[in-house]
Amino acid sequence: MDSSSQTQTNFESLIKQVHAIGEEIIAPQAKDVDEKARFPKEGMEAIKSLKLMSAYVPASHGGMGLDIKQVSKICQVLGLYCGSTAMIYAMHKIQVACIVHHCMTSQFFQSYVKELVAEQRLIASATTEIGVGGDLLSSFCAVEANDGEFQLTKKAPVISYAEDADDLMLTARKDPEAAKSDQVGVLINKSQYSVEPISDWDTLGFRGTCSSGFVVTATASVEQISPTPFSQVLSQTMHPYSHIVWASLWSGIASSAVSKARQFVKNAVRKNPNIPPISSIRLGEVDTVLSTMRNNIKANIDEYMQLLEDGDEDAFTNFGFTIRTNNLKINSSQMLVDIVGKAMLICGISSYRNNSELSLCRHLRDAYGAALMVNNDRIMMHNSSLVLMHKD
Amino acid sequence: MNLDKIREILTTHGRLTTPVDSLQDDSDLYQAGLTSLATVGLMLALEDEFDVEFPDSVLSRKTFGSIEAIADTIEDLLE
């Protein structure tokens, strides 16, 4: 067996293990996590036991060395079992990718990655800030450095799983005189910051992500500042990577809904084999939407992987690529709602019950969050400028 | 020559938060407040002024990153 097929076999066996923890640990806790809007501790522990927190860390740094296509597959599988758990994993992976792609020239980040691999640490992030109107490329807060240390206070409207993370990646202006858009990322350890809640997280869906608002106050060393300007991290990694892993986990939620619909139609066929149930045509219909959703993700992954391979930094800010990445987010989030809605029509009232085996209530509630996390309308507004210029 | 015209267009269409007069030719226009929406107006005005069309291959953040970068692109397109 050559090394690439060996790697493929290893990955397939890893995916089987992800399914196993999904069925045995993540799915059984999902209802409780959702009801109590609590952190999915058991699921995240299981994910750590498979060393998945460092899946995207290159093998040369002790990680699994998976590529984004494989990470996306893991997100999709997790999404089958619990949207919140999958979302937490995806958000963590975005931060890992930012570090791996942009921070490895720094001694501090190199040793941090070793700790990440050994301890399977969980990274949260605080990119938005109260008052910037959701613009990730603007910060009010600034790094105030003095004698090799810096202080920072940030009012963040949401920080997912802030209280359960081991580390926090924050964006801030690089110094108190810097322009709003002249930002850096800083990675701070739990022992170096305190969080004071300013809002709670009692939401319709994605309840287990515990995305409350906080004021973060930190004191840390200047070596914990990312060596790459944040605008570059955003265009080359955070923006494309986020939309790929989010869309992937949403496709997991969508697949789970379609599986329930399939189960319903199968039961109907078993009961009455001679007359095809009317819902069977709907099953075919919903599958076409799911198929488009998956193909969109695949096309975007292929393009992004090609850009990573080419290594042309300017190509990541090409308007065409930005538009297509934004389109992936807009399309996938809309398709998710569409797919879950169609699956509910197939399963009927049993999908509307909270306590039935075919319940799709959590799926639907989670689905409506997808368009709002980085609001689709804001993305569409941005795209509407870009498409005026881009002629493709 | 082009630089002056570009500064003029930038003053009218750039909607910058920093006055164009105080910018160097290589100053970062995004840090000076250039947004994606303003980039549209800027590009259309540049196309009209210089009678060129920006092809997709140059449509990236970098192209509008500074007065110098815009001038370089215009120069290439005029050749």
The CATH number linked to A153 is: 2.40.110.10
Q: Is A367 found in the same domain as A261?
A: yes
The CATH number linked to A56 is: 1.10.540.10
Q: Do the Cβ atoms of A320 and B56 come within 8 Å?
A: yes
A318 touches B at CB < 8 Å: yes
Q: Do the Cβ atoms of B36 and A314 come within 8 Å?
A: no
Q: Do the Cβ atoms of B56 and A391 come within 8 Å?
A: yes
Q: Is A157 found in the same domain as A263?
A: no
Among chain B, residues having any CB pair with chain A shorter than 8 Å are 18, 28, 30-32, 36-37, 39-40, 43, 54-56, 59-62
- Return the closest-CA partner of residue A256 out of A367, A123, A129: A367
Q: Both tokens of residue A357?
A: 């085996």
Q: Is A383 found in the same domain as A261?
A: yes
Within 8 A of A389 by CB-CB distance, chain B residues are: 39-40, 43, 54, 59
pLDDT digits (tens, 9 = 90+) for A209-241: 999 999 999 999 999 999 999 999 999 999 999
Burial degree of B4 (CB within 10 A; 0-12, 13-18, 19+): exposed
- Model-level pTM? 0.94
Last residue of one domain, picked from the residues A171, A204, A224: A224
A270 touches B at CB < 8 Å: no
The one-character DSSP state at B17 is: S
Place of tokens 């739990």: A190
Place of tokens 């303003």: B38
Q: Is A10 found in the same domain as A92?
A: yes
Average pLDDT in the A23-42 region?
98
> Helix (H, G, I), strand (E, B), or coil: what is residue A164?
helix
Percent of chain A with pLDDT over 70: 99
Q: What domains appear along chain B, each with residue ranges and CATH number?
A: 2-78 (1.10.1200.10)
User: How high does pLDDT run on average in chain A?
Assistant: 96
Backbone angles phi, psi at A372, to 5 degrees: -95, -25
Q: Do the Cβ atoms of B37 and A385 come within 8 Å?
A: yes
Q: Is the Cβ–Cβ distance between A345 and A259 less than 8 Å?
A: no
Q: Is A321 found in the same domain as A245?
A: yes
Closest-CA residue of A relative to B61 is: A317
Average pLDDT in the A84-105 region?
98
Q: Containing domain of residue A141, as a range? A: 124-224
pLDDT at A1 > cutoff 70: no
Q: Is A347 found in the same domain as A281?
A: yes
Last residue of one domain, picked from the residues A224, A257, A276: A224
Amino acid letter, A5: S
Q: Is A302 found in the same domain as A246?
A: yes
Q: Do the Cβ atoms of B59 and A314 come within 8 Å?
A: no
A315 touches B at CB < 8 Å: yes
Within 8 A of A391 by CB-CB distance, chain B residues are: 55-56
Last residue of one domain, picked from the residues A224, A246, A280: A224
The CATH number linked to A373 is: 1.20.140.10
Number of compact structural domains in chain A: 3
Rounded to two decimals, the ipTM of the complex is: 0.80
Q: What is the pLDDT of residue B79?
A: 87
Q: Is A335 found in the same domain as A242?
A: yes
Q: Is A235 found in the same domain as A211?
A: no
Q: Is A313 found in the same domain as A170?
A: no
A289 touches B at CB < 8 Å: no
Burial degree of A105 (CB within 10 A; 0-12, 13-18, 19+): exposed
When pLDDT is cut at 50, 70 and 90, the band that residue B12 belongs to is very high
Closest to B31 (Cβ–Cβ): which among A182, A390, A392? A182
pLDDT digits (tens, 9 = 90+) for B15-73: 998 999 999 999 999 888 898 889 999 999 999 999 999 999 899 989 999 999 999 99
Q: Is A360 found in the same domain as A242?
A: yes
Q: Is A364 found in the same domain as A249?
A: yes
